[in-house]
């Protein structure tokens, strides 16, 4: 194998910054490798990848020292345009990368710009390779997240690059879409020999797809190791903000050394070691208690024979929900799951009174949503939009949190705002614009906005999407703490960790119908249902099932309890 990317003592400082973002980086990537670049926020991962295609130092003209060679070309001597034939870059916010109206134009854009006569053939080939040729004549704004992501990939593939860089593929698509993208990248890597570099936070994708791993810390690589060796260094990864996959934690909890890559491997390891956690874990009894309480609790929102749909650009009615009946009771923590287009967001908007259904009725906290304006209903239900910056309407987090209670003339508004900011631990950052915060802080700021509305019902659209694992866990923990304050919460999500660790009730939507309404443990035990809704349980749940643990562990904490319990039984 030959080296395709060679960085030699490379340093880079952004204009106006007071320290180097990349510090003396020496790194070699072999042709045909599948590299995952990992590291905490601000470790220089993205800047590193932008040196490959010359954006650093040509577009971002900072202080550049050292040498970067890509396929033998010195990037400093070359240009971004020339390098774009070698390196394709797919952004984290890939939607903004699409600049042409239709998919075909988008994919042909690069080749046309470079005056390549065979642009049509190149476009066709790229679309076919990625299986998006049937979308060629769609407008880019009609695409789903996963389709848009593949289109962005096709648009760089049409340049026939030797290297493709993908920045955080999982951030803005659902897990099924992320797996599909990874499968395509693997195919490009295997069949066309394209070197793939991904920036990734999620240990499970790294162990499953990458061949080697580069760990970045504070602007320099700590090491570059084959994936298996990298996965074994769980403590080191955890220290850099990449918590180990749950199966590795599970093995550690049972006192077993080792780095299984899959659930099956972990199960084998545990069986061989004779670990059989079968005792009832404490979590199981809790659930039953909550279930009974829910029967008597007052309804917070009741939807009866709800049907809704939208007009399309072509003018016909696209039905989204069919005849949905749902009662959310006080104390419910509901996770709404289902693929893209299943109607999750629509159902939530209807429940919150943002829109009224075409048919059927909704009674929110005793008020018929048809009989009150959406701004009045905002006193009963808080709706948190999917992208946090859409909730930042003012120039500081404090002003945003204050907006609703102050407008309603609450007397204790200052005390309330202080209290809420304190609860989400954002008091020190309260005077900054929400957009300048990190992803996890932004989510917590939106939770604060919702809490300050003192709603009976909290509705949140994908509250853990595009967060790294550590921030995601902190948001889940916060949701957990806050549920005492609000009567009920409904969360639309693709995140099965959130479902397992937070929800008491899961509603599975498919094509606008509720196909199941059950506690998470029952959902994860039902293979047919999981397959139907294309859901993948978290590793710890899968491991629990593999080993026949009863009741299923929903979190690593549950697992630890189960292990501890069986341990004591064995001793007794």
Partner 1 sequence: MSRKTRDVLSVEWVKLELIRTAYATRGGLFAKMDARMVIGWYLMLAVAPWLTHNFTTILALFAITAVSAALARVGPLVLGLFLFGFLTDFLYAFLAAWMFGGDVNTAIALIEINLKLATVSLASIAAFVSLDPEKLSTGLLALGAPELLAFGVSYGYRMMPILFEEFGIVFTGLRLRSAPGARGFLGMRALWRWGTYAVQAFYPIFLNTAKSVRTTVESLETRGFTANQGRGLRIARLSIGGLDVAVVAVTVAAVAVAFGLGARWPLG
Q: Decide: is 73 part of the binding site for partner 1 (CB under 8 A).
A: no
Tell me whether strands 34-38 and 212-217 are parallel, antiparallel or unpaired.
Answer: parallel
> Which lies closer to partner 1 via its Cβ, residue 262 or residue 361?
361
Tell me whether strands 73-74 and 63-70 are parallel, antiparallel or unpaired.
Answer: antiparallel
Q: Decide: is 298 part of the binding site for partner 1 (CB under 8 A).
A: no
Find the helix or strand (DSSP H, E) in which 310 lies.
strand 299-311
Give residues 74-93 in contact with partner 1 (rule: CB under 8 A): 80-81, 83-84, 87, 89, 91, 93
Give residues 398-417 in contact with partner 1 (rule: CB under 8 A): 403-404, 406-409
Q: Decide: is 67 part of the binding site for partner 1 (CB under 8 A).
A: no
When binding is defined by CB under 8 A, the residue of 39, 44, 110, 553 that contacts partner 1 is: 110
Give residues 452-471 in contact with partner 1 (rule: CB under 8 A): 453
Q: By the 8 A CB rule, do 23 and 39 touch?
A: no
Q: What minimum distance in Å lies between the beta carbon of 388 and partner 1?
A: 10
Q: By the 8 A CB rule, do 196 and 34 touch?
A: yes
Q: Which residue has the tokens 């880079």?
A: 12
> Which lies closer to partner 1 via its Cβ, residue 140 or residue 549?
140
Q: Decide: is 112 part of the binding site for partner 1 (CB under 8 A).
A: yes
Q: What minimum distance in Å lies between the beta carbon of 95 and partner 1?
A: 8
Q: What minimum distance in Å lies between the beta carbon of 349 and partner 1?
A: 9
Size of the chain in residues: 572
> Which lies closer to partner 1 via its Cβ, residue 318 or residue 415?
318
When binding is defined by CB under 8 A, the residue of 43, 46, 53, 441 that contacts partner 1 is: 53
Strand partners, 225: 213
Q: Which residue has the tokens 């992208």?
A: 387
Q: How far apart are CA 33 and CA 439, in angstroms?
A: 30
Phi, psi (deg, nearest 5) at residue 488: -150, 155
CA 116 to chain centre: 37
Q: How far apart are CA 129 and CA 136, in angstroms?
A: 13
Give residues 119-158 in contact with partner 1 (rule: CB under 8 A): 119, 139-141, 155-156
> Which lies closer to partner 1 via its Cβ, residue 81 or residue 570?
81
Q: Decide: is 12 part of the binding site for partner 1 (CB under 8 A).
A: no
When binding is defined by CB under 8 A, the residue of 371, 481, 522, 548 that contacts partner 1 is: 371
Omega before residue 224 within 30° of 0, cis: no
CB atoms within 10 A of CB 278: 13
Q: What minimum distance in Å lies between the beta carbon of 87 and partner 1?
A: 8
Q: What minimum distance in Å lies between the beta carbon of 344 and partner 1?
A: 16
Dihedral over Cα of 568, 570, 571, 572: its sign: positive
Q: Decide: is 41 part of the binding site for partner 1 (CB under 8 A).
A: no
Give residues 418-447 in contact with partner 1 (rule: CB under 8 A): 433, 435
Q: How far apart are CA 485 and CA 233, in angstroms?
A: 40
When binding is defined by CB under 8 A, the residue of 14, 31, 76, 100 that contacts partner 1 is: 100
Q: What minimum distance in Å lies between the beta carbon of 105 and partner 1?
A: 6
Q: Decide: is 243 part of the binding site for partner 1 (CB under 8 A).
A: no
In the structure encoding, which two tokens stand for residue 461, read together?
A: 């659209």
Give residues 495-534 in contact with partner 1 (rule: CB under 8 A): none
Cα of first residue to Cα of last residue in the chain, in angstroms, is 57
Q: Residues 379-398: x/- map of binding to partner 1 (CB under 8 A)?
A: ----x-x---xxxxx-x---
Q: Decide: is 16 part of the binding site for partner 1 (CB under 8 A).
A: no
Q: Decide: is 15 part of the binding site for partner 1 (CB under 8 A).
A: no
Q: Decide: is 358 part of the binding site for partner 1 (CB under 8 A).
A: yes
Strand partners, 432: none
In the structure encoding, which two tokens stand for residue 424, read together?
A: 């989400």
Q: How far apart are CA 237 and CA 215, in angstroms?
A: 8
State the angle between helix axes of 246-253 and 539-546 in degrees (0 to 180), rounded to the nearest 10: 50
> Which lies closer to partner 1 via its Cβ, residue 218 or residue 379?
379
């Amino acid at each position: 194998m030959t080296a395709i990317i060679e960085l030699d003592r490379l340093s880079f400082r952004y204009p106006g910054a007071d320290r180097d973002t990349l510090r003396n980086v020496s790194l070699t990537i072999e042709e045909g490798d599948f590299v995952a670049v990992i590291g905490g926020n601000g470790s220089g991962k993205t800047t590193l990848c932008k040196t490959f295609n010359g954006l650093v130092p040509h577009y971002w003209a900072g202080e550049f020292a050292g040498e970067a060679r890509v396929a033998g070309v010195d990037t400093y001597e070359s240009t971004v345009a020339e390098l774009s034939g070698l390196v394709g870059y797919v952004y984290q916010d890939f939607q903004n990368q699409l600049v042409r109206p239709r998919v075909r134009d988008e994919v042909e854009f690069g080749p046309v710009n470079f005056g390549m006569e065979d642009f049509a053939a190149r476009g066709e080939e790229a679309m076919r390779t990625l299986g998006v040729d049937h979308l060629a004549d769609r407008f880019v704004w009609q695409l789903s997240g996963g389709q848009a992501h593949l289109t962005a990939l096709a648009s760089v593939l049409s340049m026939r690059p030797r290297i493709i860089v993908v920045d955080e593929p999982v951030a803005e698509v659902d897990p099924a879409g992320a797996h599909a993208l990874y499968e395509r990248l693997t195919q490009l890597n295997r069949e066309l020999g394209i070197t793939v570099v991904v920036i990734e936070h999620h240990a499970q994708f790294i162990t499953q797809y990458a061949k080697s791993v580069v760990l970045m810390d504070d602007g320099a690589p700590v090491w570059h190791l084959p994936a298996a060796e990298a996965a074994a260094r769980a403590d080191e990864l955890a220290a850099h903000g990449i918590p180990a996959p749950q199966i590795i934690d599970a093995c550690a909890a049972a006192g077993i050394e080792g780095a299984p890559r899959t659930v099956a491997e972990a199960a084998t390891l545990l069986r061989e070691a004779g670990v059989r956690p079968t005792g009832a874990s404490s979590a199981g009894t809790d659930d039953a208690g909550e279930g009974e309480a829910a029967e008597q609790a007052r309804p917070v929102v009741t939807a009866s024979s709800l049907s809704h749909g939208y007009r399309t650009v072509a003018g016909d009615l696209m039905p989204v929900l069919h005849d949905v009946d749902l009662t959310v009771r006080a104390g419910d923590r509901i996770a709404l799951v289902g693929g893209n287009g299943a109607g999750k967001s629509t159902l939530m908007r209807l429940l919150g009174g943002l829109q009224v259904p075409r048919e059927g009725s909704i009674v929110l906290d005793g008020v018929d949503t048809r009989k009150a304006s959406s701004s009045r209903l905002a006193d009963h239900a808080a709706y948190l939009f999917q992208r946090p910056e859409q909730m930042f309407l003012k120039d500081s987090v404090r002003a945003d949190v204050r907006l609703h209670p102050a407008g309603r003339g609450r007397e204790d508004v200052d005390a309330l705002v202080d209290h809420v900011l304190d609860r989400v631990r954002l008091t020190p950052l309260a005077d900054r614009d929400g957009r300048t915060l990190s992803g996890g802080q932004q989510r917590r700021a939106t939770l604060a906005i919702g809490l300050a509305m003192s709603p009976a019902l909290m509705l949140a659209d994908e509250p853990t999407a595009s967060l790294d694992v550590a921030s995601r866990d902190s948001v889940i923990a916060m949701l957990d703490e806050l549920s005492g304050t609000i009567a009920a919460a409904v969360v639309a999500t693709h995140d099965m960790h959130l479902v397992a660790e937070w929800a008491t009730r899961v509603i599975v939507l498919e094509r606008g119908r509720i196909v199941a309404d059950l506690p998470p443990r029952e959902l994860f035990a039902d293979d047919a249902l999981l397959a139907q809704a294309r859901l993948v349980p978290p590793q710890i749940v899968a491991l629990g099932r593999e080993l026949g643990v009863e009741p299923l562990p929903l979190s690593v904490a549950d697992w630890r309890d189960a292990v501890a319990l069986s341990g004591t039984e064995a001793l007794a």
